[in-house]
């Protein structure tokens, strides 16, 4: 998918390593949510309100932190380094989130964004299978 987007934009993007952790998390948040939404509709059409409520349970900081603990031992050194860069980045923590969970969620999103930009879709699917 990323190749098609780049072709339409008429250029090449910088290497994944060149992006800031928050930029990686920005795109990773989108990819993470798209995976969850796709998972939720895989069996059939459902009530959209119900889909949204279910999706928000998977895409919240607390669930993303739980997801990290499930996959932590599966991560390569490179993936763990990207996660830590995202986790350690200073950002505003929303009122309804615990700081620890929010930072871990940012690390997860940075990792997913990094893998997406590296075109490692199979790896994303492998890891994300533990999220839902």
Question: Which residues are known to be catalytic?
Answer: 29
Number of CB atoms found within 10 A of residue 102's CB: 21
Rounded Cα gap, residues 52 and 126, in angstroms: 23
Give CA separation, 55 vs 8, 25, 89, 100, 132, in Å: 30, 18, 26, 21, 10
């Amino acid at each position: 998918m990323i190749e098609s987007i780049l072709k339409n934009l008429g250029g090449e993007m910088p290497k994944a390593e060149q992006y800031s952790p928050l930029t990686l998390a920005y795109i990773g948040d989108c990819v993470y949510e798209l995976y969850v939404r796709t998972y939720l509709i895989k069996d059939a059409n459902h009530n959209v309100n119900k889909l949204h409520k279910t999706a928000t349970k998977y895409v919240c900081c607390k669930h993303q932190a739980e997801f990290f603990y499930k996959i932590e031992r599966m991560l390569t050194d490179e993936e763990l380094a990207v996660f830590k860069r995202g986790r350690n980045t200073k950002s505003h923590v929303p009122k309804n989130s615990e700081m620890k969970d929010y930072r871990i969620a940012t690390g997860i999103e940075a990792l997913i964004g990094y893998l997406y930009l590296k075109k490692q879709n199979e790896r994303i699917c492998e890891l994300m299978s533990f999220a839902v």
